[in-house]
Homo-oligomer: A and B are copies of this chain.
């Protein structure tokens, strides 16, 4: 769980929500461990309503069914949509303020919890969603394998995972390409981005956020209980994947 002074993106979401979702100047900053900084466009995206989602996101979301675990639920846009459809949804996030926003917006079941701490205490799920590039929360090749095993243990026989990720190889930004190369040299996956989020005086700890190509996705799933069922390509270097249990 993030401490109060670490809850950078939660604080940005909270401030944006408290402004009546009007403030445009409240932007979190993403700092990569090579010193590259980027702004993420502000928290508005975490509140985007279904009708403004990308078409592929909508398509992927149709695969959600039964009891749903939303990992890194943020301001709860996916959870609230599915809850509105009548599904039983649990939203978890390691940001206390993100969860506070979810509660205020009407999400019934929430817990302040990072992916690494999930357990059977949450019950059994039919669908795990990791939207908004949250495949990244798997962190690294090794921890993805470990966490996929954990997820297998808390999902039903026909359980599935719906996730989105950037395909990091689809860029021509020389700074990004150089960073990928640095990663490979230090024995990390190209898209294993070491970053921290900053907002005003709030700074998250450094964390690994993993973005993978389709091939790498399948390499990670090999020798796990999971396999790819379907991909959805976005009109940008990003895709959604529906992962299901091997029969």
Task: Give chain A's interface residues, CB within 8 Å of chain B.
Answer: 25, 27, 29, 34-39, 41, 175, 198-201, 203
Contacts and interface: CB of A to CB of B under 8 A. Distances in A.
Given A25-B41, A29-B29, A41-B25, A35 B175 contact: no
Contact of A200 (B25, B36, B198, B199): B36
Contacts of A37: 29, 198-200
Contacts of A203: 35
Nearest to A174: B201
Nearest to A198: B37
Nearest to A175: B201
**How many identical subunits does the complex contain?**
2
Nearest to A178: B201
Nearest to A36: B201
A201 B27 contact: no
Contacts of A175: 200-201
A68 to B, nearest CB: 32
Nearest to A27: B39
Nearest to A24: B41
Contacts of A41: 25
Contacts of A198: 35, 37
Contacts of A34: 201
A39 B39 CA distance: 8
Nearest 5 pairs between A and B by C-beta?
A: A27-B39, A37-B198, A36-B201, A29-B29, A175-B201
A201 B35 contact: yes
A200 B173 CA distance: 11
Contacts of A201: 34-36, 175
20 contacts: A25-B39, A25-B41, A27-B27, A27-B39, A29-B29, A29-B37, A29-B39, A34-B201, A35-B198, A35-B201, A35-B203, A36-B200, A36-B201, A37-B198, A37-B199, A37-B200, A38-B200, A39-B39, A175-B200, A175-B201
